[in-house]
Structure 1
Amino acid sequence: MSTFDLYALPAELQTWDLEAAGAARFTWEYGDGRDRLLGLYSKGKQKQWDSAERIEWDLEIDPDDPFGLPKEIHPLVGSRTYEGLSEAERTASGRAMGVWQFSQFLHGEQGALICSARIVEGVPDLDSKYYAATQVMDEARHVETYARFLQEKVGEVYPINPHLKALLDDTLTDPRWDMPYLGMQVLIEGLALAAFGVLRDISTDALTKQILSYVMADEARHVAFGRIALRDYYSQLSAAELAEREEFVIEGSFLMRSRFRGDEVWEGLGYDVVDCVAAVENSPYMQAFRTLLFSRIVPCVKDIGLWSPKVQKAYADLGVLDMAGLNLDDLMADDEAKADSFDQVRIERAAKARFDVELQARRAEVDAVVTAEANA
């Protein structure tokens, strides 16, 4: 079945073509590399995995609540629109919001796939090309995973959100080689990583938690890659060059904040969009969610050296300046530990399933012997 048969809203039937800018860079230095980046490259090679094998695709999901999200976090709770909905309509709209969120994860992963390929092409250092090449494989796997989940298990997809599309446009059409890093590794991937973490921790669906955990372990390395590469490069830039990057970060951060309002979902359902957007803005859950979304972005922006008073004011206005003190290395270690814990659960579940099959087979053998003796 074509994905176009599953879109909840009309999607562009043709490809979205962006005119690529910037040079493809070769380097003839093959012996020099940063130890931490080469270590990350080694981990990137070791941590490759097969979505078809590692994820338990036979796990059942609730068709009305495929993501296992609590009803009380519905962003419209308390609004005039929500109060006028039946229980079935509330369930359907909550499902639609979940499908929309995971669809943006899918489209964002395709953006990351293209951006990481652009980094391989444009970055001047071979150690960065090495790591970015492993990220290309990671992102292809993530696209495959989210596409399979939405198409085979959920059965519905939403088109790309305009705010995400605008940031991808800005990121991919800028000729400077560091902009795919800044737009993708820091902003888009940083926000996605935080969103994955929130949903992983509140979901009650085993398959959803598994997918998010495994993808997060990869994404945490990608954000670390951006930090290492950009911190070194930005220490060499002039004040004017840094100011240009800071302006990009501020604009991108506000775009990302608006990315999770879901205007097109409410419009597609025929709801009062003005009332819905106001409800999303004022929802205690969504306010906390938007704040947590910046838990991976703000400390990274500070770490790479884009931390002027103007940037700090922008994050203060967004209510997320306190996030600057978070330790990204600790967060990455926690992401990897949780992915490992899901592996252990999967292994134990598979072992129990094998034991149950063997036990049933032995019982059948015993029953056959008893029956044969009784008939002798």
Structure 2
Amino acid sequence: MSSRETYTREPGDLLWEVPAAGAARFSWEYDEGRARLLALYQKGKDKQWDATTRIDWDLEVDPFDPLGTPDEATALYGTPHWDRMSGRERGTLRQHFASWQFSQFLHGEQGAMVCAARITESVPDLDAKFYSATQAMDEARHAEIYGRFLHEKVQLLYPVNDSLQALLGDTLRDARWDMPYLGMQVLIEGLALAAFGMLRDTTTKPLPHQILAYVMQDEARHVAFGRMALRDYYRQLSDAELREREEFVIEGCYLMRDRLRGLEVLENFGIPRAEALELTEQSEFLHLFRKLLFSRIVPCVKDIGLWGPRLQRAYADLGVLDLGAAELDALMAQDEEIAEQLDARRFAAEEAARTAEVAATVAEGAAADGAGEDGTAGEGHGGGGGAAGRG
């Protein structure tokens, strides 16, 4: 079935073309490169995995409650709109919000795949090209996963959000080789990581929990890659060049904040845009969600050397300036650990089930053999007795 038939509204042209800018760079320097990046490249190779086999796609998902997250997370909760809804209408609303969230994840992952390919093409250092090539494979896998989840389990798609599309376009049109890093690895990936983490830790459904935990394990490496490359490069830039990057970050952060509202969902339920804006502004959960979503971006921006007065004022306006003190490495380590623990639990349970199945099969076989031997012995005994009697 074509994706066009699954979209909640007509997406227009299914092919979006962004004019490429900047040079493709080759490096004839084949030395060992930077140890940190090569170690990350090795990790990227070691951690490749197959979404078809690592994820249990046989797990059932209720399309009308795909995530099992609290209704309080919905902007309509507690409003007269919510009170007037029937149980089925609320289920449809849950389906739409889950579809909207995961559709933006899907579109963002395709953007990340394109940006990783652009980094491979344009970055001047071979060690960075090596790693970004592994990232392109990771992002392809993530797009595959989210696309399959939406098509098979949620059965609904939303077009790309205008703010996400605008930031993707700005990132890809810029001719400077570091901008795909900044736009994708720091802003889009950072925001996505925080959103994934919120859902991973609140969903009560095993399939989305698996998906989010495993995707986040990859994304933790991607953000680390962006930090390494940009931190080294930005030390060499002038104050004027750094301010240009900070302006890009400021604009991108406001775009990402506006992307979080889910206005498209509310409009699909007949709520005028102006009222939808007001409802999302009044949502206490959305305010908390919005702040937590910047928990990965702000410390990363500070770490790579972008922390001028204007940027700090923008973060103060967004209410996230204090997040600059967050321990980003600890968050990334936790993302890796959660995925490893999930694997350990799942495979231990599967091994226990296989062991129990083998033991049951052996027991059944032994019981069948015993029954056969008893029957044979009794038959022989009776026949012998009859012969003796006749004799």
> What TM-score does the superposition give when structure 1 sets the normalisation length?
0.95
In structure 1, C-alpha distance between the alignment counterparts of 2:258 and 2:342, rounded to whole Å = 32
5 Å matches for 1:59-78? Answer: 59-78=59-78
User: Which residue of 2 is the match for residue 288 of structure 1?
Assistant: 288
Name the CA shift for 1:12/1:202 in 2 (closer, same or farther; >3 Å). Answer: same
Equivalent position SS for 1:62: coil
1:81 to 1:19, Cα distance in 2 relative to 1, 3 A: same
| Cα displacement (A) at 1:275 | 2.6
The 5-angstrom pairing of residues 180-199 of structure 1 reads 180-199=180-199
Cα 1:88–1:374, aligned 2, differ >3 Å: closer, same or farther?
A: farther
Q: Distance in 2 between matches of 1:246 and 1:132?
A: 23
Report matched runs for 1:6-85 at 5 Å. 6-85=6-85
In structure 1, the residue matched to 2:344 is: 344
Contact 2:62 2:153 (8 Å CA) reproduced: no
* Counterparts of residues 212-227 of structure 1 (less than 5 Å): 212-227=212-227
One-letter amino acid of the structure 1 residue matched with residue 269 of structure 2: L
Contact 1:37/1:228 (CA < 8 Å) preserved in 2?
yes
Q: Deviations over 1:221-268 (max 9, x none)?
A: 111111111111111111111111111000000000011111111112
Q: Distance in 2 between matches of 1:360 and 1:287?
A: 54
**3-state SS, counterpart of residue 75 of structure 1:** coil
**Residue identity matched to 1:117:** A
Which is worse superposed, 102-111 or 355-364?
355-364
Structure 1 range deviating more: 89-98 or 355-364: 355-364
Question: CA deviation digits over 1:122-158, x for unaligned, max 9?
Answer: 0011111111011011111111111111111222111
Structure-1 separation of matches of 2:358 and 2:32: 55
Q: Does 1:179 align with 2:179?
A: yes
- How far the C-alpha of 1:12 sits from its partner, in A, is 2.5
1: CA distance between counterparts of 2:212 and 2:247?
Answer: 31
Structure 2: segments with no counterpart, 5+ residues: 380-391
> What percentage of aligned pairs have identical amino acids?
58
Query: Which of structures 1 and 2 has the bigger CA Rg?
Result: 2
The residue type equivalent to 1:176 in the other structure is R
Q: TM-score, normalised by structure 2?
A: 0.92
Give the Å deviation of 1:374.
6.6
Distance 1:356 1:96, change over 3 A: farther
- Aligned partner letter, 1:119: I
- Are 2:118 and 2:180, in contact at CA under 8 Å, matched by a contact in 1? yes
Secondary structure at the counterpart of residue 298 of structure 1: helix
The answer for the alignment partner of 1:88 in structure 2 is 88
Partner of 2:101 in structure 1?
Answer: 101
Q: Greater CA deviation, 215-224 or 271-280?
A: 271-280
Counterpart-to-counterpart distance in 1, 2:19 and 2:63: 40
Distance 2:154 2:247 in 1: 39
| Contact map agreement 1:81 1:275 (CA 8 A) in 2 | no
Select the structure with the greater relative contact order (CA < 8 A; seq sep ≥ 6): 1
Q: CA-atom RMSD, angstroms?
A: 1.7
Alignment of structure 1 residues 102-141 onto 2, 5 Å: 102-141=102-141
Choose 335-344 or 350-359, whichever is displaced more.
350-359
- Unaligned stretches of 5+ residues in structure 1: none
Measure how far apart 1:352 and its partner are: 3.4
Does the Cα contact within 8 Å between 1:81 and 1:276 map onto a contact in 2?
no
Q: Distance between the aligned counterparts of 2:32 and 2:177, measured in 1?
A: 20
Distance 1:199 1:294 in 2: 15
Q: CA-to-partner distance for each residue in 1:79-117, whole Å, 9 max, x for gaps?
A: 232233223222221221111001100000000000000
Q: State the aligned residue count.
A: 376
